Structure 1
C-alpha cells in the first residue's frame, strides 16, 4: 500500500490561488513554434461559441502576433496602454466574426519586452480588474521563462503549457513548469500536447513530460488535452482566419472544442 507521503501531488490550485484570477487562463510554452498563439485564438473562439463572454489578451510583450493571425488592423494596442495613452478598456476591439474581444499586442516589435516590473504589476492588476467583465480571459503569453512572462502569468488562476513532441519543446515546457511551481506553489498548471500525429502519440509525449515532472519536481501537472496534427491549421493561419470559421469540422478544431468544454468545468 502506498502511503500518502509517497503520493505524487498534482499542481491543483490552493484556495487562494483558485480565487486569484480564477477566470484568467494563461497560455504558455517553453519555446516558440509550438502553436501557442493559434491555440489561444482557437480556444477563445471555442469558448465564445459556447456562449462565454471571452477576451483574448495578447500578452506576448516581445513579438505579438494575434492581430496578424486574425487579419486585424487594430487602432490601438498594448503599446498604447503601456505608454499611458489609453486604458486597457479603451484599447479593446471586437472581433465580430468570432464573437469575442481582442486586446492586441504590438506586432513585430520587441519594445515591450523590457517593461519595468512595477509597470508589469500595474498591467497585471488592471487586467485582473478588467477580467471581471468577462466569463473567460485567455492570456497569450510570450514564449520562454523570462521575468516579464512569469510576472504577467501571475495574473492567471490557470496556466496551460502547450508543447509538442520535439525534444527541445518538451525540455523548455519542463523548464517553464519548474520555474512556475517554484514561484507559485499550488497554481493550477495543465498540459496540452499540440500537433500530435495521433491521440496515442500525444499521450506518449505527455507521459514523457509527466515522468520528468514526477521524478525531479515531485508534481504531476494534469493533461488537459491533445490536439492532433492537421494540415488545415496551417492553411487557416495563412488565410488569417480562425480554423473554427474556415474548417469547423477539422480534427484540430474538434480537439480544441473538447478542451474548451473541459475548461468550462474547472
Structure 2
C-alpha cells in the first residue's frame, strides 16, 4: 500500500509574476528609430486625453528622457537601485506635460549591470507603482538585453517602433520573436515611425507582419503610422515636447491618433 510518505515530493512551482495591465512598454530592435521621442509624445498625448500618466525611463544603459526634455531631476532610478528611496519617491512631476517622470541616470552605464534578482524586484515594484496611475509608459532600451526583456515582461502592451530601414525591420522582428518565445500571447503592436506617407507606413508594417505570420504564426496589429516631420527634429533640438512646440504638426496628430485608438481598446 502506498502512503503519502512514499510519494515523490514535488517542488512548489513559483507563482507567476504579476503584470501591469496599464503598463505600456515602448521597444525597438535598434536605436535611432525615435523610440524615446515616441515614448515622451505618447505619455504627453495620454495626459492631454485626461489620463494620469507616468513616464518611466527603462533604458538603464543610455537613459535620455530627461535630456530630450531639458530636465535635471534631483532624483532618478540610480537612487532607487542604491536603496536611498522608493520608486514612488523618485517620481517627479513634469508640469509642462502634465505627467510624472521617473528618470534614468544619464551618462552612466552602471545600472545596466545590476544583478538579475535586483532587476526583477525593480520590475515587480514598477507593477505595484502602476496601480497609482491610469497609464505607465516605459521607454525600454534598444535590443533584447536582459534589462529590456525584464521590463517588457511587466507590460500589458508592448509598442514596437520601427522604420523602413532593413536593419530596423530585422531587429524589430528579432525583438518580437524573443518576446513571443518568452511570453506567448503578449499584446504587441507595431508603430511605423518616420514614414514618407501613411500608405508607405502601412506597406512597411505589412512587410513585418508577413514575417511574423510566416515564421512565428502571430499577427501583431498596427498601432499606427507616424509621418516624417521636420517639426520632430526641431522639438528634440529645443528639448521641448512636440505637442507643446508644434501641436498641429503631422507627427503630433499621428501620435494623438494612436492614443485615441489605444483608449478605445
Q: Distance in 1 between matches of 2:133 and 2:185?
A: 24
Alignment of 1:1-266 (within 5 A): 20-266=19-265
Q: Structure 1 stretches (4+) deviating beyond 3 angstroms?
A: none
* Alignment root-mean-square deviation, CA: 1.0
Report the CA distance between 1:30 and its aligned residue.
0.2
What's the TM-score, normalizing by structure 2?
Answer: 0.93
Partner of 2:8: none
What is the total number of aligned residue pairs between the two structures?
Answer: 249
**Larger gyration radius, structure 1 or structure 2:** 2
User: Deviations for 1:47-103, whole angstroms, at most 9, x for unmatched residues?
Assistant: 000100000000001000000001111001001111111111111100000000000
Q: Distance in 1 between matches of 2:147 and 2:53?
A: 24
Give SS of 1:175's match.
helix
Give SS of 1:123's match.
helix
Give SS of 2:204's match.
helix
What's the TM-score, normalizing by structure 1?
Answer: 0.92
Report the CA distance between 1:213 and its aligned residue.
0.6
* More RCO (CA 8 Å, sep 6+): 1
Report the CA distance between 1:115 and its aligned residue.
1.4
Unaligned runs of 5+ in 2: 1-15
User: Deviations for 1:4-49, whole angstroms, at most 9, x for unmatched residues?
Assistant: xxxxxxxxxxxxx9x8311000000000000000000000000000
